[in-house]
């Protein structure tokens, strides 16, 4: 990781000509401002101002300016750009005019949750698995929704025509300092999966955002669309995000899982924030019941018998904001620990309970939830309740 001085030295030594300062709206959509290298020292010291009123989920009642402060530890070079005048990207902290961290910045919300873990001396890591489709585009650059192949689960070339692109994506990610663990063809035609190694929650969320951007960029360079939407093809498998959670204290895992089961319905709006999410949930390969299983792989929570320190949550999709999602998973799990919840008793009490079947149902549950109101800022909650994001 870089500090400010190392970042400035890197820019000079590597002939960096362009700097992208990136941040995210409430739905996790990446935004950025591009600056020249000579503007970076000022950005570190005083920040770069931007218009908050056009960013989804930012409190429009506030009148003060907001500023982007680059986080030097997130420096990465964009490998698909020409090295003759390199381009780098830095994620940013968002602050107000008084230098206070902005409370509607979801990346900062996750940071606060991680700091709470440290005060408990509890370490939690996340490892994420992403699914996406690759579609051909027409001569105008518009997706045809025609998959690049008709392969199925773990097929190889020539049935799998995405392996070269997946390899290029993994190489690009490695060049950027990310650690992809595995990749393969998924069940759907043109559907792919890439998995990551575990990392601390903030780094895992940063990596998730970088990953989606890299996949879309590399696919576009090949004249293809990378589609992460939950159900891009009506009669084919949907795209999910499986999140593996590792705890440093295995004795607390079951109570952590129980806390998630208790709060999962309230959190679903943030895990599955668009209408299409509910075309995937409750259908083939996606979870339906609020249940934990050590055997069945497609249940909401999978708690494998061979690991006592981890579990897997399988209801999320890529329309979710990983900063919000990981934050809520942490707080729900901690509530389970603090309440000393018994996993078996929770499952018996909530037997036959199902996940919300529609976006409206998920909105209703979130709007009535004291748990959600405790951790999700009012302006962000209102943004989600006013309608889903359809940028996917």
The predicted structure's pLDDT at residue 392: 44
Give the pLDDT of residue 123: 97
In CATH, what is the architecture of 113-385? 2-Layer Sandwich (3.30)
How far is the C-alpha of 328 from the C-alpha of 315, rounded, in Å? Answer: 13
Reported CATH class of domain 4-102: alpha beta
The Cα 91–Cα 21 span in angstroms is: 6
Q: Which H or E element spans position 365? A: helix 359-367
Q: What is the DSSP letter of 300?
A: S
The four Cα atoms 295, 297, 303, 306 give a dihedral, to 10 degrees, of: 60
Q: Output the pTM of the full model.
A: 0.95
> What tokens were used for 258?
């129980």
Per-residue confidence (pLDDT) for residue 285, from 0 to 100: 80
The list of the chain residues with pLDDT below 50 reads 391-392
**What's the residue count for the chain?**
392
Element (H, E) at 293: strand 292-293
Which burial class, exposed, middle or buried, applies to 141 when counting CB atoms under 10 A from its CB (0-12, 13-18, 19+)?
exposed
User: How buried is residue 279: exposed, middle or buried, by Cβ count under 10 Å (0-12/13-18/19+)?
Assistant: middle
Three-state secondary structure readout of 35-101 = ECHHHHHHHHHHCEEECHHHCCCCCCCCCCCEEEEECHHHCEECCCCCCCCEEEEEEEEEEECCCCE
pLDDT digits (tens, 9 = 90+) for 67-121: 999 999 999 999 876 667 899 999 999 999 999 999 899 999 999 999 999 999 9
Extents of the domains making up the chain: 4-102, 113-385
pLDDT, position 52: 86
CA 38 to chain centre: 32
Give pairs for 60-64: CB < 8 Å, separation 24+.
60/379, 61/379, 62/96, 64/96, 64/97, 64/98
pLDDT for 389: 56
State the pLDDT at residue 51: 87
């Amino acid at each position: 990781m870089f500090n400010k001085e190392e970042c400035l030295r890197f820019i000079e030594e590597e002939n960096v000509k362009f700097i992208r300062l990136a941040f995210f709206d409430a739905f996790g959509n990446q935004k950025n401002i591009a600056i020249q290298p000579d503007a970076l020292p000022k950005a570190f010291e005083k920040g770069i101002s931007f218009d908050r009123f056009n960013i989804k989920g930012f409190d429009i009642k506030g009148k003060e300016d907001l500023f982007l402060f680059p986080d030097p530890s997130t420096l990465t070079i964009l490998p698909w750009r020409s090295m003759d005048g390199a381009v780098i990207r830095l994620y940013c902290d968002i602050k107000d005019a008084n230098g206070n961290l902005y409370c509607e910045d979801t990346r900062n919300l996750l940071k606060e949750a991680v700091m709470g873990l440290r005060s408990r001396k509890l370490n939690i890591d996340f490892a994420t698995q992403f699914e996406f489709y690759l579609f051909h585009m027409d001569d105008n650059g518009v997706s045809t929704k025609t998959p690049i192949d008709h392969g199925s689960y773990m097929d190889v070339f020539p049935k799998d025509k995405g392996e070269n692109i997946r390899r290029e994506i993994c190489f690009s990610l490695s060049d950027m300092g990310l650690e992809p663990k595995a990749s393969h063809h998924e069940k759907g035609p043109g559907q792919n999966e890439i998995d990551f190694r575990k990392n601390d929650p903030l780094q895992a969320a940063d990596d998730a955002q970088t990953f989606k951007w890299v996949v879309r960029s590399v696919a576009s360079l090949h004249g293809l669309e990378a589609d992460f939407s939950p159900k891009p093809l009506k009669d084919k498998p949907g795209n999910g995000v499986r999140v593996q959670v590792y705890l440093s204290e295995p004795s607390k895992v079951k109570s952590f899982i129980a806390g998630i089961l208790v709060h999962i319905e309230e959190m679903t709006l943030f895990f599955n924030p668009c209408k299409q999410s509910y075309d995937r949930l409750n259908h083939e390969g996606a979870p339906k019941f609020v249940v934990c299983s050590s055997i069945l792989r497609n249940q909401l929570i999978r708690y494998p018998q061979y690991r006592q320190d981890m579990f897997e949550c399988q209801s999320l999709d890529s329309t979710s904001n990983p900063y919000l999602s990981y934050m809520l998973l942490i707080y729900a799990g901690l509530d389970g620990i603090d309440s000393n919840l018994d996993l078996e008793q929770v499952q018996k009490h909530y037997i036959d309970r199902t996940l919300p079947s529609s976006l409206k149902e998920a909105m209703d549950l979130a709007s009535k939830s004291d748990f959600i109101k405790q951790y999700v800022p009012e302006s962000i909650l209102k943004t989600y309740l006013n309608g889903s994001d359809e940028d996917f």
